Chains A and B, each alone.
Chain A
């Protein structure tokens, strides 16, 4: 069981991620705002972080940079959710500290496969 934090401005996407991961016994906390997710990361330790890129208030790249600035999240895997048209942003995300990405839309099986791979 992994403790996972998921951040996306779409509540539909968050629910889909949550249900997929819960089925495998993972514990999932969901957030629609980067600032709230960061506050939670300051209080609790998570094994994996999943984040969208395009979000209001705080975008995914800024969020990743802020996570990497937290002393206890320097090496925690960060999975980025991207769209087909965001090829350039994948590189930006990698430079900011992302570990891997998955292209939306994805099936629950595809998500679980990536999660198992990066959150060992």
Chain B
């Protein structure tokens, strides 16, 4: 009979193991439990130096969907641009419609071009015609060639019904 392992123990093992099969097993076990401690654990992994662990955390938080939404949304306020990009990636990929709504709202206050470009990409893919005025406003706000390009592409996608 297998003894149930605590979240802390599982995360420690997840970080230490180099065995991909073992990592997958722990990952599945963590996803099955999916309580607040586990969500916090995955959020901590977003700051880890090992990119494979960061990617695993992104994948997990997307899978956890609505359960992870409140904590992931808070990451949009991180001072670290990369963490805000991860948050936009997770929220943009979530099935929960609050994910897209959160990044849409965040667009109004975000000042970093790279974060904005990711949100624009998600709105182009999963947004709707009502997002066009917001997207258009970014051209004037940023006056930046890459944002101009991203906005044009997103609007084109929305108009062609590519979302």
Given A16-B146, A56-B59, A107-B145; A83-B114 close (CB under 8 Å) = yes
Within B74-95, the residues touching A (CB, 8 Å) are: 80-82, 85-86, 89
Task: Describe B's contact surface by its main secondary structure.
Answer: helix
Any B CB within 8 A of the CB of A28: no
Given A85-B81, A85-B82; A12-B55 close (CB under 8 Å) = no
Residue of A nearest to B124 (CB): A12
How many angstroms between the C-alpha atoms of A85 and B147 in the bound complex? 19
Within A95-111, the residues touching B (CB, 8 Å) are: 104-108
Residues of A whose CB lies within 8 Å of any CB of B are 10-13, 15-16, 19, 54-57, 59-62, 83-86, 104-108
B: number of interface residues (CB 8 Å): 27
| CB-defined contacts of A85 to chain B, threshold 8 Å | 80-82
Query: B51–A15 contact, CB under 8 A?
Result: no
A-B contact pairs, 19 of them (CB 8 A): A10-B118, A12-B120, A12-B121, A12-B124, A12-B150, A12-B154, A15-B153, A16-B146, A55-B55, A56-B58, A56-B59, A59-B52, A59-B54, A59-B55, A60-B51, A83-B114, A86-B82, A105-B114, A105-B147
| CB-defined contacts of B146 to chain A, threshold 8 Å | 16, 104-107
Query: A105–B81 contact, CB under 8 A?
Result: no
* Smallest beta-carbon distance B81→chain A, Å: 5
Residue of B nearest to A86 (CB): B82
Query: A54–B51 contact, CB under 8 A?
Result: yes
Within B58-110, the residues touching A (CB, 8 Å) are: 58-59, 80-82, 85-86, 89
Interface centre among B82, B124, B147 (most CB of A within 10 A): B82
